[in-house]
Structures are given as structure tokens and as C-alpha cells.
Structure 1
Amino acid sequence: MKKLLFALGVITILYFIATFFVPPYIEEQRNPVKSPPPYSVSTEAQEIYDRLDFISDLHCDALLWGRDLTQKGSIGHVDFPRMREVNVGLEMFTIVSKSPSGQNMKSNSADTFDNITPLTIAKGVAPNQWFSLINRTLGQAESLHQFIEEENGKVIFVHDKKSFEELISARNTDKTVVGAMLGIEGAHALEGSLENLEKVYEAGIRMIGPTHFFDNELGGSAHGENGAGLTDFGKSVIKRMNELNIFVDLAHCSPAIVEDVLEMTTKPVMVSHIGVQSVLDSQRNLSDDQIRKIAANGGIIGVAFFDMAVGVPEIDGIVATMKHIRDLVGVEYIALGSDYDGAVEVPFDITGLPLIVEALLKEGFTEEEIRAIMGENVKRFFLKNLI
């Protein structure tokens, strides 16, 4: 018995040591930055950036890694201090609950080994999250709420129009106040249950992507195997999301789901992080026809920052993508959708956002257009569509 207790004690100690070292190591490997900070831009670009009233990003997976978002990190892409450093007013923190081994842009199976399971265990979270997608999701949501509580009013959780207006009002007098929202990347997190949709709504989630990198109970992924549209369950989820005023995120959805959602939704949609096929011909990216339909729906499109969405060099691809959307349907539908901390290599972390202003300026975008892209479009979208 003594030997058993000793062995269990050693295993416990080794586990807690692993929780301290393993997640940061994994994140450092999975979320590299091509050009680390600090960043510099021209005087003109910096002056324009400094005049921006509201800056927002629609997609960040920082909650996945277990890093303390109240502290400025030396790894990863986003945390509250770095948001403040460059005056970012609102970040959409998205929850990843499952990722298939060998994940790629073309074809993935839901049955392959899940990369998130060992990471979840290594983070030292409660065992009820180790093998439950819905518990992982609610656990990441709770982590954000805890970080916000530690900030003592300096971070406002946005979940309705009133809280968003509170954020805007607070920032009029104190730019160190930042906002955070919650989304889900892949509705497999619901585990096929409408009851779980109610749970994530209560947790404050206000954006959900029907699929991520594999097909699920709602239908087909852009990177899955069947390319299917919405199932009957998927349609019931979209209908209830509309009733609850949870935004549908079309990033990663099969073309058939994109069509089905746009046909049935009674609310404007979001595409939180994506590129366009005219810039990079990828099954992950939007066609011109899809862009037009999303604009007609009153939706908003977040342009991603990584090479598999916009090509290389990334900054050129980001601007080319924005320019194409502007010329096709108008600048009012464009937003930032970085995919920061999403297991992707990015050209710069969040403190490099002035580089986008400089690149847009060089391509002839006006200051008014730059203001719209950097956050005013998101502000207008949420003021209009949150309730």
C-alpha cells in the first residue's frame, strides 16, 4: 500500500509539473509570429491609427491554451495588456473543443485522434472536461469570465446591446477598458443536444460556427468528407440560434451549409475569419457569389491574417482580400478576423495592427475606409444586431 501511495504521489507531482511546462511549450510551437514585436510604421500611418476610435477583431483562440490573459505574454498573439497597448476595444474569444489529428484544409475525419484531448488534460483543468466537448466549452467560457473578474471592471463582457453600449461609453473616458465576447468554433461542441445550446447561451456565447474542420451533427465542413448541407438537427440549431440572437459564423462551413443558412436565417450572419477565392483559390475561402449573398443578408466578413487564407506575403494578401470585398460589395462589410492564437503562424501579433493601416494606406484606402475596416463596421453591426 505504501508503494502504491508513493507511486500515486510521484505521478501527481509529475502531472502538476507537466501542467506548468507543457501547455506553454505547445502554444509556443503552434502559434509562432514571423516578425516579433516591436513594430514601427510611418508617421502618417501611426497618426491615422492613433485617431481610430474603435478597433476590433472577430476571431481569437487564446482561451484554448490556458494562458493567463490578464498578463502580457511572451508567447501567443493576444492578451488584455497587448490589446490595451494598441487600443483594441473588442476581441471575440472563440472556443475550440476538438481538432482532428493531421488537420488540413482539404479533408478531415471526425473519427481521427483529437489533438485537444491531451492539451486539455495537460492544462490541469477539472477531469470532467477531459473527454467532454460541452464541458470543455463551458470550461473555457468560465476561464474568460474569471479573467474578466480579475480585471476589476477594466474588461467588459459583451453579451447584449446594453453591455456593448456600456463598453463604448466606458472607453469614451478610459481607453484602458477593453471588451470581450465569446464564440464557439464548431457546433460539435453541443454534442447533438439543443439543451446544450441553451447552456452555452447562458454562459454568454453569442456566435457559433456550425462546423469546424470536420463534418458533425449539423452538416458538412469545408474541410470535411461529405460536403453536406444542414441536417434536420442543424436546421433546428440555426432556428434556435436566431431566436436566442446567437450569430451564425459561416467560417469553415461547407458551401451547402452556407447556402442553407443564408436561405433560412432571419438574422445577419458573421464570417469571423476567412479569405476570398479571387485572392487565394481555396475551398476554405469565399466565392464572389457567397460574398454578395452575405452582403445582401447584412452580414460582416472578418479577413484572416494567416497564409492558408490570404497567401504570402500575408500583409499583401490581407489588403488584397479587403480590396476585393470593397470593390465587389462595399467597404462596410469588412472587418478584422485574425485567427490569432489559432494554431497558425501569423506575420505579427496584435500589437502589429498599425501595419495593416500602413498597408491599406499604401493601397489607396481612405482614412474613412480604414476606420470602417479596423472596427467601425463591427461597432455598427453590433449596435444594430445585438439585442
Structure 2
Amino acid sequence: MKKILFFLVLLFIVYLIGINTVPQYIESQRNPVKSPSPYTVSSEAQALYDRLDFISDLHCDALLWGRNLNERGERGHVDFPRMREANVALEMFTIVSKSPAGQNMKSNSEDAFDNITPLTIAKGESPWNWFSLFNRTLSQSEALSQFVDKEDGKAIFIKSKADLEKLIEARKTDKTVIGAMLGIEGGHALEGSLENLEKVYAAGVRMIGPTHFFDNEFGGSAHGENGAGLSEFGKEAVRKMNEMGIFIDLAHSSPAIVEDVLNLTSKPIIVSHTGVRAVLDSQRNLSDEQIQKIAANGGIIGIAFFDMAVGEPELPNIVASIKHVRDLVGIEYVALGSDYDGSVAVPFDITGLPLIVEGLVNAGFSEEEIRAVMGENVKRFFLTNLN
């Protein structure tokens, strides 16, 4: 009995050590920054950046890793203090609940081993989350709510147009007030239940991508195996999301789902983090025809920052991707969609956003166009379309 007790105590100690070291190590490996801060740009670019009223990013997975977003981190890409350093007004925090082992841009099996399960256990989360995608989703939703609450009014959880208007008004006199929205990366998080759609809405979710790296109940992923369009459940969910005021995010969706959603939806859509095939010919990126249809829908396209979406070197290709969308359909349809903290290596963390402004200045973009890309388009989109 004493040996068993000793073994159990030893196992518990190892577990405690693990939850305080393993997640941090995994994140440091999965979310490197190629050029660490601080970042410097030309005086012209910095002056323009400092004049920007509203900077926004459409995609960040920081909730996945268990970091305290109220504190400035030494790893990863985004937290509340670094948002303030970069004068970022609004960040879309997205929930990742499942990710297949061996994930790649070409093909992933729905039955592949899930990377998020061991991470969930290693973070010391409740056993209720270990094997439930939906419980993981609610847990990350609650985490964002708690991070916002700890800011004592200096952060606003954006769930409505009124919340966004409150953020805009607050920042007229206090630029340290920041906004956070909540999205879901992959409709598998709903576990095939429309009732769960109502529950995540109540938890603050206002954007959902039908698929992530694998096929699911909604239909096919751009990186899955079947290439299918929307299933009957997917069609019903899209209609329900339209009714409720949840935006549909077409990043990672199969071309057939992109087509089906654009034909079915009654509301403008989002592509939260993507590249364009004219810059990097990848199956996760948008074709010119898709870009034109998204613009006709009144949607908005967030350009990602990592090499598998834009190619290398990243910064000039980010600018080239933004320019391509502008030249094809107009500046009003393009925004930033970093994919920060999304198991990707990025050229700079969120405090490096002035580098994009410098790149846009050097590419001949006007100040009005730069303002649009850096956040005004997102602000306008949400003011127009949030309930």
C-alpha cells in the first residue's frame, strides 16, 4: 500500500511539473517569431502608424496555449499588454479545439490523432475537457471572458454593435482600452448539434469557420480528404448562424463549401486568415474568382502573415497579397488576418505591425488605403453587420 501511495504521489508531482513546463515548451516550439522585438521603421511610417485611429486583426489563436493574456508574455505573438504597445484596438481571438497530427496543407484524415488532446491534458484542464471538443470550446470562451473581466474596464468583450460603439467611444480619450471578439476555428467544435450553436453564441462567439484542417459534420476542408460542399447539417447551421448573427469564416473551407456558403448565406462573410493564389498557389488560398465573389457578397478578407499562406520572405508577400486584393476588387475588402499564435512561425509579433505600414508606404499605398487595411475596413464591416 505504501508503495502504491508513493507511486501516486510521485505521479502527481510529475504531473504538476508537467503542467508548468510542457505547455510552455510546446508553444515556444510551435509559435516562434523569426525576428524578435523591438522593431524599427522609418520616421514617416512610424508617424503614419501613430496617426491610425483603429487597428484590428481578424485571427489569433492565443487562447489555445493557456498563457495569461493579462500579462506581457515572453513567448507567442499576442497578449493584452502587447496589443496596447501596438495600439491595436480589436483582436479576434479564435478557439482551436482539435488539430490532426501531421496536419498539412494537402490532406488530413478526420480520424488522425488529435494534437489538442495531449495539450489539453498537459495544461491541467478539467478532465471534462480532455475528450470533448465542445467542452474545450466553452472553456476557452470562459477564459477570454475572465481575461477581459480582470482588465477592470480597460478591455471590452465585443458581442454586439453597441459594444463596438462603446469601444470606439472609449478610445477617443483612452487608447489603452482594447476590444476582444471570439470566434471558432472549425465547426467540429459543435459536435453536430445546433443546440451547441446557441450555447456558443451565449458564450460570446460571433464567428465560426465551418472546417479547419479536416472534414467534419459541416462538410469538406481545404486540407481534408473528400472535398465536399456543405452537408445538410452544414446548410442548416449556416441558416441558423445568419439568423443569430454569427459570421461565417471561410478560411480553411473546401472550394465547394466556399461556393455553397456564398450561394446560401444572406449575410456578408469573413475569410479571417488567408493568402491569395496569385501570390502563393496553395490550396488554402483564395483564387481570383473566389475573391470577386466574396467582394460581391460584401465580405472581408484577412491576409495572413505566415509563409504557408503568403510565401517567403513574408513581409513583401503580405504587401503583395494586400495589393492584389485591392487591385482586383477594391481596398475596402482587405484587412489583416495574422493567424498569430496559430502554430505558425511569423516574421514579427503584434508589436511589429508598423512594419506592414512601412511596407505599404514603400509600395505606394495612400494613407487612406493604409488606414482601411490596418483596421478601418474591419471597423466598418462590424459596425454595418454586427447585431
- TM-score over 0.5 for the pair: yes
2:282 is aligned with 1:305: no
Could you tell me how far apart the structure 2 residues matched to 1:112 and 1:265 are?
31
Q: 2:263 matched to which residue of 1? A: 263
Q: 1:115 matched to which residue of 2? A: 115
Aligned ranges for residues 1-387 of structure 1 at < 5 Å?
1-387=1-387
Could you tell me how far apart the structure 1 residues matched to 2:165 and 2:12 are?
47
- Give per-residue Cα distances to partners, 1:263-291, cap 9 Å, x unaligned: 01011000000000000001110011100
Could you tell me how far apart the structure 2 residues matched to 1:336 and 1:155 are?
21
Could you tell me how far apart the structure 2 residues matched to 1:268 and 1:208 are?
13
For residue 344 of structure 1, what is the amino acid of its counterpart? V
Could you tell me how far apart the structure 2 residues matched to 1:212 and 1:177 are?
31
For residue 74 of structure 1, what is the amino acid of its counterpart? E
Could you tell me how far apart the structure 2 residues matched to 1:247 and 1:324 are?
24
| Runs of 4+ more than 6 Å apart | none
Residue 149 of structure 1 deviates from its aligned partner by 1.1
Give the match's secondary structure for 2:381. helix
For residue 356 of structure 2, what is the amino acid of its counterpart? I
Residue 376 of structure 1 deviates from its aligned partner by 0.2
Give the match's secondary structure for 1:91. strand
For residue 16 of structure 1, what is the amino acid of its counterpart? L
For residue 213 of structure 1, what is the amino acid of its counterpart? F
Residue 3 of structure 1 deviates from its aligned partner by 2.7
Give the match's secondary structure for 1:36. coil
Could you tell me how far apart the structure 1 residues matched to 2:237 and 2:10 are?
46
Could you tell me how far apart the structure 2 residues matched to 1:362 and 1:88 are?
22
Give the match's secondary structure for 2:372. helix
Could you tell me how far apart the structure 1 residues matched to 2:148 and 2:16 are?
25
Give the match's secondary structure for 1:301. strand
For residue 72 of structure 1, what is the amino acid of its counterpart? R
Given the two structures, how large is their TM-score scaled by the length of structure 2? 0.99
Residue 156 of structure 1 deviates from its aligned partner by 0.3
Aligned length: 387
Could you tell me how far apart the structure 2 residues matched to 1:297 and 1:85 are?
35
For residue 77 of structure 2, what is the amino acid of its counterpart? H
Residue 5 of structure 1 deviates from its aligned partner by 2.5
Residue 168 of structure 1 deviates from its aligned partner by 0.6
Could you tell me how far apart the structure 1 residues matched to 2:82 and 2:350 are?
7
- Give per-residue Cα distances to partners, 1:179-237, cap 9 Å, x unaligned: 00000000000111111111111100000000000000110000000000000000011
Could you tell me how far apart the structure 2 residues matched to 1:229 and 1:150 are?
42
Residue 14 of structure 1 deviates from its aligned partner by 1.3
- Give per-residue Cα distances to partners, 1:106-140, cap 9 Å, x unaligned: 00001011000000000011110011000001001
Residue 6 of structure 1 deviates from its aligned partner by 2.4
Could you tell me how far apart the structure 2 residues matched to 1:228 and 1:329 are?
27
For residue 268 of structure 1, what is the amino acid of its counterpart? P
Could you tell me how far apart the structure 1 residues matched to 2:117 and 2:80 are?
26
Could you tell me how far apart the structure 2 residues matched to 1:381 and 1:50 are?
23
Given the two structures, how large is their TM-score scaled by the length of structure 1? 0.99
For residue 96 of structure 1, what is the amino acid of its counterpart? V
Gapped runs of 5+ residues in structure 1? Answer: none
Could you tell me how far apart the structure 1 residues matched to 2:172 and 2:16 are?
43
Give the match's secondary structure for 1:173. coil
Residue 86 of structure 1 deviates from its aligned partner by 1.1
For residue 134 of structure 2, what is the amino acid of its counterpart? I
For residue 110 of structure 1, what is the amino acid of its counterpart? E
Residue 17 of structure 1 deviates from its aligned partner by 1.1
Could you tell me how far apart the structure 2 residues matched to 1:306 and 1:9 are?
43
